[in-house]
Amino acid sequence: MIRNVIKKVFFCFTLLTLSIGVNAAADVDKKDPYQMIKTVADITFKRFANEQSAIQAEPNLLKNIVREELMPYINYQYAAYKVIGSNFKKTNKAERAKFVPAFREYLITSYAQVFTLYNNQKVEFAPAKDFSKDRVVSVDTSVIEPGRAPINISFRVRKHKKTGEWKAYDMVAEGISLLDSKQAELSSLIRQKGLTHVTEMLKEKSERNIVFK
């Protein structure tokens, strides 16, 4: 059940990052969460299209695209700490310092694998709202595919207190939170076997090759 939930949310994230048109500005505006998402999506889509032949020959190139184009705009440390959750006090600084990059690489591999499912779906964005007094906003979208009901997605973005820059940290697809799903999957393992064990497990998963099925 959890595995299917996670796959659905990852898929929706991929649709969001690949389904924007090609008219966004080249520079990413980290001070505007709505524009940031659209611009990053545009850049990612262009690279995915331009390198399609190379990707078909070497699918692991998808990891490079995710690492270079998406991860700079994802607050993976905040997400990693949220996954640790109630186990946080049972871990130490050294363990967390190793877990965060392992979690980051795991996300990269997970996103890259879902890139192989893209099939020209379209995404419609809800109008941007005033975010001047907010620290967390949800960018609402709908994934449109002929013959199917729209999939409602909210992309949660958080503003850094000091820099004022926004980064994504979670997605909610049809009420299913990626962050909550990962916490449900890993929390009990962290509690039972420790953070070091889970870190090594994620490292192993992140080394898996990307395959087109």
120: pLDDT strictly greater than 80 = no
Mean pLDDT of 71-92: 94
Q: Which long-range contacts (CB under 8 A, 24 or more apart) does 197-203 make?
A: 198/99, 199/95, 199/98, 199/99, 199/102, 200/102, 202/99, 202/102, 202/103, 202/105, 202/106, 203/102, 203/105, 203/106
pLDDT number for residue 88: 94
Residue 100 has φ and ψ, to the nearest 5°, of: -55, -55
More confident residue, 125 or 85: 85
Q: Distance (Å, rounded) from C-alpha 97 to C-alpha 77?
A: 10
24: pLDDT strictly greater than 80 = no
Q: What is the average pLDDT score of the chain? A: 84
26: pLDDT strictly greater than 50 = no
pLDDT number for residue 21: 38
pLDDT number for residue 23: 37
Mean pLDDT of 122-141: 88
The pLDDT tens digits of the residues spanning 154-179 come to 889 999 999 999 999 988 877 888 88
Q: Read off the pTM.
A: 0.81
36: pLDDT strictly greater than 70 = yes
Question: How does strand 122-125 pair with strand 136-144?
Answer: antiparallel
pLDDT number for residue 199: 98
Of 139, 183, 120, the closest CA to residue 39 belongs to: 139
More confident residue, 114 or 205: 205
- Domains along the chain? 2-206 (3.10.450.710)
pLDDT number for residue 179: 85
pLDDT number for residue 25: 38
Percent of the chain with pLDDT over 70: 85
Percent of the chain with pLDDT over 90: 49
